């Protein structure tokens, strides 16, 4: 029988030094969220838990593109803890189909377990925890590259290519811009009904935070930018949904 506690301990040891918002506290929250969604959606809990625990072990932001593609850490941890080969392959397929940069390329999970873990990961990038993680990541970049937390003169680029998005030191990448380039889009990308319900709550909290942030600094142009962005994203999502219904 697979020892989930031992696997969790192995993941904790691997990720304990992360300061970018992708540490073991993030993994634990994703795991809890995924398990709750699995109960609602009637998915295989062991596969969901395994994929949630291992989903960031080989994240390209932490280990680089080459190691991420090989999923070396996830493979090693599962093999060392006696995970059956068939379940290993299912978990690796889930991990390989997760992440916002993959979503930008049209790569999404195919299985119910994969959709649930992907949703849980995206939910943890939203709401109050998402705001804290975003700031944590921005401060980590500030320490590494001298990047600002916010620059009122530098607008976001919400339509950037995936190659541009993945650059480690983009000049316009900062705490506030990241909301427009990723976080405010996530509620439209959730795949299961239970996650979409929770996602709307977390989305509204992020919007309220940004409105307050811009209002306190009397940044009327940024407030207008936010409201226009929200209208355009909702219209784009409605159009995509209509296209999906027509092609079904």
pTM of the model: 0.91
pLDDT tens, position by position, 150-177: 999 999 999 999 989 888 777 778 999 9
Tell me which H or E stretch contains 165.
helix 162-165
DSSP at 55: T
SS (H, E, C) 103-142: HHCCCCCCCHHHHHHHHHHHHCCCHHHHHHHHHHHHHHHH
At residue 199's C-alpha, the angle toward residues 243 and 53, to 5°, is 110
Domains in the chain: boundaries = 4-107, 127-247
pLDDT tens, position by position, 44-97: 999 999 999 999 898 877 777 777 788 999 999 999 999 999 999 999 999 999
Tell me which H or E stretch contains 143.
helix 127-145
Q: Domain 4-107: give its CATH code.
A: 1.10.472.50
**Residue 68 backbone zone (phi > 0: left; psi -120 to 50: alpha; other: beta):** alpha
């Amino acid at each position: 029988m697979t020892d989930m506690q031992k696997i969790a301990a192995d993941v904790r040891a691997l990720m304990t030094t992360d300061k970018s918002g992708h540490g073991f506290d993030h993994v634990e929250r994703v795991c809890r969220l995924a398990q709750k969604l699995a109960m609602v959606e009637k998915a295989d809990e062991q596969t969901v838990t395994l994929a949630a625990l291992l989903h960031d072990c080989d994240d390209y932001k932490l280990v680089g593109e080459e190691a991420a593609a090989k999923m070396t850490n996830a493979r090693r941890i599962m093999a060392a803890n006696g995970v059956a080969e068939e379940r290993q392959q299912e978990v690796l397929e889930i991990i390989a189909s997760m992440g916002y940069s993959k979503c930008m390329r049209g790569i999404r999970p195919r299985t119910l377990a994969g959709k649930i873990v992907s949703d849980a990961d995206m939910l943890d990038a939203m709401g109050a925890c998402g705001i804290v993680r975003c700031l944590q990541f921005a401060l980590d970049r500030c320490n590494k590259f001298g990047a600002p937390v916010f620059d009122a003169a530098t607008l976001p680029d919400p339509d950037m290519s995936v190659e541009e998005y993945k650059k480690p030191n983009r000049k316009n990448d900062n705490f506030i811009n990241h909301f427009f380039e990723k976080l405010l889009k996530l509620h439209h990308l959730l795949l299961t009904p239970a996650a979409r319900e929770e996602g709307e709550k977390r989305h509204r909290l992020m919007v309220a935070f940004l409105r307050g942030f811009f209002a306190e600094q009397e940044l009327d142009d940024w407030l207008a930018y936010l409201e226009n962005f929200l209208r355009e994203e909702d219209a784009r999502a409605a159009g995509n949904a209509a296209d999906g219904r027509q092609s079904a």
